[in-house]
Structure 1
Amino acid sequence: MSRLTIGEKIAVQIRDQPTSVMTLQQTRRAQDKNVQNVFSEVLRNAGRQGYASADITASAEITDTSEPLNIRVQESWNRWYQTEQLGRYASDEAPRDLGENFGNVLKKAYDEGAYVDPKSFLSGISEDELKAVQNAHWLADPIRVDSLTEEGALNLLIPPAAQVDLNKDGLTQSGISYGLRFPDSTTPTEVALAWEQATDGMPIQERMIYELEMKLPVLTSNMVFDADGRFSHARSPGDPDFVNPMNAEDYSFVEVTQNWMDYLDYFKNQMDPDRYTKDMEFWSTFQEKLRDNGAA
């Protein structure tokens, strides 16, 4: 029997679509959502919070929720990894056995309750297993468990698309590295849904610009200026005075979109007309979707 190609494996993952065919971007988003749902259930069972937008009863209609959770952990990783062989792991530098090796680590982590105490688990696995974790997250340096925070350690045992902002500082730490992502694990369901609708079909490079713009408050709020208004320094993650304005109860995503549209109008005559039109269309669409989904 001939082996399935990567493309054929991905095709098997996608349920029959009678009226439409899923694009690669839609497939990747579906797999992202699925792995977020499954690992949010894992984290909930460990007394932790997963994705605020997760639906642990649905698993994105991809993984059979009647199966035991330990089976769904491996299945969700396998499906996500197969899809990402056309994305994150498309490089020839990705080890051929990465999917199997990291999948085995995830299975072991679940079976041994690692999501309650991730640092102890990582301290007890073999060098080969640590290497699989390193490869799965594209870490440049070998993992030194004693240097990890709780969040950094926990996220090493979660597929990249499902990693969580454990301390709600607006950054997602994996190993010793920090990343910005939007939506992240703290983003309300209605906001995440509006974002998905507003960016559907958008080229990834363009979407990443808007993702960064959504997270700018985390960066700018931690810039410190002296009495003369000159930049002094930036607070670092972990500093006692590091702030995340997006975690405030009264934070309004609708207001953010309006601020961006006001900014565009103010600088309209100084901008490239095409850039103005494209950005205005995006922020107005996102605002409309936010309102449609009941977001503040």
Structure 2
Amino acid sequence: MSVTDIAAFGASTLASAAGAASNQIERQVQSAFSAVLEAAGRQGYASAAPIADGAPVADAAQQAWDDWFGTRPERYASQASPEKLQQGFGAIIGKAINEEGYADPKGFLAKLNREELATLQSVHSLADPIHVESLTEEGALNLLLPPPAQVDIDADGITHSGAGRGIRFPNSNTPPEVVDAWDSATAGMSWGERSQFELKMMLPTLLANIEVDANGQFIGQREPGDPDYRNPMAELGYSYRDTVQSMIDALDFQKEQMPRDQYEEQRAFWRRFGEELEATGAE
């Protein structure tokens, strides 16, 4: 093995370890802030684990935020003082817990000063300043949660953060057995590798709301709040295993039109995820 090979192997091993640790830390922060939400009478992550017996919820939340922030130096590298940002958001978390901000997020946000709102804007990488009066309940609540702990409270498949909207998988409504299968299947992947599969898992919701004409031409897209908007993933009888099989079928159909290594890599992942779903008893 050459020096180059050794270096490449080392980099790959470190990336794999980082990917596994990333999944674990994300689940920890989701569990900690689910406890915060439950204390405020709200639903957190379906996959959340209980926090340690006797551990104060506020302390668990602060520790989870600090742990997660420490794994994301690249996300906040452009900030003049990442440490100040970390401390500023931590202070807002404590304030929100003490002042029932998670029960009434819009009311709480309305009392924050300009510097505190700017901190929330930076933590969530929002392009525009926050205008509290225009926010939805979900958009307001998620500003008070670390990015990986944000929740989809209306189960439309879209996670609102301030005025921004995004998709994620797993999200707060994903069944715990599916999350376990996902974490096992993606263990060792980098964020970039994982994100391409996350997007594909959300295709059922995205495609269900595309409108086409009689010739199959795109003519529009239904948005959350529209009367005929659908999130198939929230409907009774939705099957993650069927979705995975459809991914495999689509790859097999396109096999001759894509590079062989890409086909084999993606098919291996979907097979692995399907096997993990079966092992956890997920539908």
How many correspondences in the alignment? 268
Indicate yes or no: 2:55 matched with 1:67: yes
**Structure 2 matches for 1:174-253, cutoff 5 A?**
174-253=161-240
Q: Which runs of 4+ in 1 moved over 3 A?
A: 90-96
Q: Does the Cα contact within 8 Å between 2:18 and 2:188 map onto a contact in 1?
A: no
TM-score w.r.t. length of structure 2:
0.90
Q: Percent identity?
A: 47
SS in 2 for 1:84: coil
Give the C-alpha shift of residue 128 in structure 1.
1.2
Deviations 1:141-179 (A, max 9, x none): 110001100000000000001000110000111001111
Q: Is the 8 A contact 2:152 2:158 kept in 1?
A: yes
- Of the candidates 28, 40, 60, which is equivalent to residue 46 of structure 1? 40
- 1:1-296 correspondence to structure 2 within 5 Å: 23-57=17-51, 65-85=53-73, 87-92=74-79, 95-296=82-283
| Amino acid of the structure 1 residue aligned with 2:281 | G
Contact 2:245 2:274 in 1 (8 A): yes
2:48 is paired with a residue whose SS is: coil
- Residue identity opposite 1:27 in structure 2: A
Structure 2 gap ranges (5+): 1-15
User: Residue deviations 1:71-118, cap 9 Å, x none?
Assistant: 222222122212222x42233556440011110001000000111110
3-state SS of 2:220 partner = strand
Give, in whole Å, the separation in 1 of the partners of 2:169 and 2:63. 25
Are the equivalent residues in 1 in contact too, given 2:159–2:166 (CA < 8 A)?
yes
Partners of 1:114 and 1:181 in 2: CA distance:
24
- CA separation of 1:25 and 1:228: change in aligned 2, threshold 3 A: closer
For residue 214 of structure 1, what is the amino acid of its counterpart? M
1:193 Cα offset (Å) = 0.7
Instruction: Report the Cα offset of residue 127 of structure 1.
Output: 1.1
Assess if the C-alpha contact under 8 Å between 1:94 and 1:135 holds in 2.
no
> CA separation in 2, counterparts of 1:233 and 1:129?
38
List gaps (5 residues or longer) in structure 1: 1-21, 59-64
Secondary structure class of the residue paired with 2:71? helix
Quote the RMSD (CA, aligned, Å). Answer: 1.6
CA deviations over 1:165-202 (Å, ceiling 9, x no partner): 11000011100111111111111001011111111112
Name the CA distance, whole Å, in 1 between partners of 2:80 and 2:226: 36
CA contact (8 A) 2:157 2:231 kept: yes
TM-superposed deviation, 1:227: 3.3
